[in-house]
Amino acid sequence: MHDPASGTEDPLRVLVVDADDRVRESLSGLLAIGHRLVVVGSAGQPARALELLASESPDVVIVDPRLPDVAGGLAFIGRIRARDPDVRIVVMSWNEGLEDPALVAASDGFIRKTFRPNDLIAAIRTASGRAA
């Protein structure tokens, strides 16, 4: 991920998974603003997210665990990990409390949707192993 010849890192590749079109569009626009991140895709359905995971090889997946057609966020994270054990997962939720500690433990990071932009970028970079 680091190009020794240029002295720069390759941008982190991010996949955004959320049922709300507006959230996906907002996150995609926010993450594209000069922070060494590139959004390689977004999905509102689990099946589409898994297709993009396979075709786009993101470094980090930002996922709202409350997707349609998913029995639970933990099961969906398991499906992501089964497809790509190396991808990092940041759970993004509206919940004030961490209502499911197993869900948080299965992910590489957690952020509430009331985040500040720098907090989201820091969560992505920390989850990827490239601390901000």
In this prediction the pTM is 0.86
CB 132 within 8 A of CB 121: yes
Q: How confident is the model at residue 112 (pLDDT cuts 50, 70, 90)?
A: confident
56-83 pLDDT, tens digit per residue, is 999 999 998 887 766 667 788 889 999 9
Q: How confident is the model at residue 90 (pLDDT cuts 50, 70, 90)?
A: very high
Residues 89 and 65: their CA atoms lie apart, in Å, by 11
pLDDT, mean over the chain: 84
Residue with tokens 């996150």: 27
Average of per-residue pLDDT across 79-106? 80
Which domains can be identified in the chain, with CATH numbers?
Answer: 33-128 (3.40.50.2300)
Q: How confident is the model at residue 2 (pLDDT cuts 50, 70, 90)?
A: very low
Residues 41 and 10: their CA atoms lie apart, in Å, by 17
30-58 pLDDT, tens digit per residue, is 998 876 899 999 999 999 999 999 999 99
